[in-house]
Amino acid sequence: MLTENLLRNKKLIELVVRKIRSLELKKNINVMEVCGTHTYTFFRFGLKKLLPDNINLISGPGCPVCITEDIFIDKALFLCKDSRNVLATFGDLIKVKGTSQSLEDARAYGANISVVYSPSDALGLAQENPQKRIIFLAVGFETTAPLTASILKEAKKARLNNFFVLSAHRIIPPAMNVLCNDAELNIDGFLCPGHVSVIIGERPYKEIVKKYHKPCVICGFEPLDMVLSIYKICLQIKEGSCKLENEYNRVVKPSGNVSAMKLIGEVFDVRDARWRGFGVIAKSGLFIKEKYKNFDAEKLIDKPLALRKTKNINCRCIDVVKGKIRPPECPQFKKICTVDNPLGPCMVSFEGSCRIYYEYSA
């Protein structure tokens, strides 16, 4: 069994890097990772310095907070104006601005906003405060959607009338389809997200490989995982082959987590959804089913909110999440935009590319 010591063993990592170099690939190889934790590993462990200069790792839309649109924050801000409402949110969402304000700003002016560490904490708030309406801001990919689905089932079973969910859950493969169709990116292969893959398994990526002829490797989160996965992509390119490989097979099963997928399907409908930087992506969002409509916070919004452009025109976060630019290419990076003064969600979230570049790149 692979241990952390092996997965971070410098000699093993350097051995795999030598194998990558031995392939002697002449052209630039653009590998996109669609998980912020991969970006974190890549920079924290200095992998960029080890790999050949022609291996380019491109950060994609792997941070759920970063791809959440302004309109979602605006909806949350609208809801927190009502004194009956308590918003329950994860900590890295609270500093993200909508079109003009963040939840942190609203809390400073008296809005009742509570930071929670899990969806079950939000459900507990509802059970402990029956006189208040608890609204959980559900952000995340397939990894966290089953947890939200589970608490909605619990709320229904308990017949709670003061618990609601505002869903911004998104699913990854449709976004990968959009990225594959973007000729400007010229992606040669994907490091597929390990946590998401635990839930969805291998099948969605096989469809991407078949349709777009791009190597895909499901990748774990340790340094050895990453260099092995990059090697597998480079080897496929060298051999002229194209397939899905599961480097993270110690955790990810071919069929994924069938029970979790069934739970998602029971509670959520898949519909077209908006992503920051991408606009509407077909069949990429999870929306609460009619069966659970009594817990849908959308029904508490009694007037339509207009889609407006953010006032922060200097932030290039939308180009970062699409892989169009690297964070240092933004003129505000490390100048006006810092961890203490973030202009966009990519600098706010711990999984955001800008924050990771800020903290770990030279």
Buried b (16+ CB within 10 A) or exposed e, 286-302: bbbeeebebbbbeebee
Domain count, the chain: 1
Tokens encoding 10 = 């410098």
| pLDDT tens-digit map of 160-192 | 999 999 999 999 999 999 999 998 889 999 999
Return the bridge partners of 29, or none: 55
Cα 293–Cα 298–Cα 303 angle in degrees, nearest 5: 130
Average per-residue pLDDT for the chain: 93
* pLDDT at residue 223, rounded to an integer: 96
Q: Tens of pLDDT along 85-113?
A: 999 999 989 999 888 889 999 999 999 99
Please tell me whether residue 286 adopts helix, strand or coil conformation: strand
Give the span between the Cα atoms of 122 and 88, in whole angstroms: 6
What CATH number does residue 157 fall under?
A: 3.40.50.11740
Asked if pLDDT for residue 260 goes beyond 70, the answer is: yes
pLDDT of residue 1: 60
Domain range enclosing 90: 1-362
